[in-house]
Amino acid sequence: MLPEPDTNPHPRKIIHIDMDAFYASVEQRDDPALRGRPVAVGGSRERGVVAAASYEARVFGVRSAMPSVTARRRCPDLVFVKPRFEVYRAISEEIRAIFAEHTAIIEPVALDEAYLDVTENLQGLPSATAVARAIRAAILERTGLVASAGVSYNKFLAKVASDHRKPDALFVITPAMGPSFVETLSIGRFHGVGPVTEARMRALGIETGRDLRERPLEELTAHFGSAAAYYHAVARGIDERPVRAHRVRKSIGAETTFGDDTADRTVLAERLAPIIDRVWQASVAKGVRGRTVTLKLKLSDFTLMTRARSGPAPVGDRSGLERAALALLDEAMPLRRSARLIGLSLSGLGEADAAGPVQLGLEI
């Protein structure tokens, strides 16, 4: 028996906007020669990874996070384009300005997607569907790019709706539809159920939303711990999470995969330098500073090494970040194997005006 639909006479109105193949679509927009062709944004070298794929590439099974060599094998005609993150960020800001014309309650998830609470909308449009339609039209007119939108009474279903008929889609899941719609979903389409959890659920015989709904909370807790309450609720079309207008960023980081492995400290320091620049520039651009610096090394056997240091106050300048990063690198040396990747992150973030130039402490 289905649970009762939401009887709240004033349910929230949530929109999830997801740009269609964002990075690849920007490249196709800016270079007409790429239009209609399978495009991958990312590195084409042996150690490269696909950051985004056009829909023409996805037909061949090319996906983001896929090794470039695998993508090339699946699609020999694949065109690789170097990412231009400064361009993507600028367009993302333009799109968020469109959102802000309709609501102040905006929760960015990434450069290419966001949740909007339009329970009260600034334009006085008659419905959330009308707001989503207006936003999609404005994005297309001002940027030349296509966005898909999902409209529902909670974040989980808005996310499901935006993905339901992509690309170039607008789909609505009403409170009356919610519970029955969820029961037909494959468990792999549940936002928050990653590949590992999906495999565990399928091993338990949980294939669909209906299967998940039939499992008692106690059983789900035994298998999935604190996440069980979320799975138990969304299987019933329930998600009480609010759209958070001011999400607190937990960390800023960057990394690079090498074309050739190395265990040489001098070479590693050279490869770390542009990573330090990227992390510091992101820190400045976002107006935040961090107290904890973490160095990540992935070795040739794919094992991960991390070293971290926290100080009593945020790192105040780029030279301070560099000193901390190199000290962590020295601490990791000598490596037992060559490294194939190096990364750096700042966490323990706070507003920039609270920070001054500080020598990072030695607390681990």
Q: How far apart are CA 173 and CA 157, in angstroms?
A: 7
Q: How far apart are CA 3 and CA 176, in angstroms?
A: 11
Under a CB-based contact definition with an 8 Å cutoff, are residues 27 and 128 in contact?
no
Nearest to 41 by CA among 26, 56, 23, 65: 23
Which amino acid appears at position 120 of this protein? E
100: which 2 tokens? 């802000």
Under a CB-based contact definition with an 8 Å cutoff, are residues 187 and 215 in contact?
no
Measured between alpha carbons, how far apart are the two ends of the chain, in Å?
A: 54
**Run of H or E residues at 180:** helix 178-183
Residue 6 assigned as binding residue:
no
Which amino acid appears at position 129 of this protein? T
Under a CB-based contact definition with an 8 Å cutoff, are residues 101 and 124 in contact?
no
Residue 317 assigned as binding residue:
no
Q: How far apart are CA 205 and CA 223, in angstroms?
A: 13
- C-alpha distances in Å from residue 20, one per residue of 11, 29, 140, 185: 28, 12, 11, 22
Under a CB-based contact definition with an 8 Å cutoff, are residues 68 and 40 in contact?
yes
Q: How far apart are CA 26 and CA 97, in angstroms?
A: 18
Q: How far apart are CA 205 and CA 195, in angstroms?
A: 15
- C-alpha distances in Å from residue 188, one per residue of 18, 196, 210, 258: 18, 10, 13, 33
Q: Which of 107, 113, 183, 322 is catalytic?
A: 113
**Run of H or E residues at 162:** helix 155-164
Note if 113 is an active site residue: yes
- In a 3-state reduction of DSSP, which class is residue 131? helix
163 CB neighbour count, 10 Å cutoff: 15
Nearest to 283 by CA among 351, 233, 340, 223: 351
Binding residues: 18, 112
Which residues are marked as active site? 113
Binding residues for Mg(2+): 18, 112
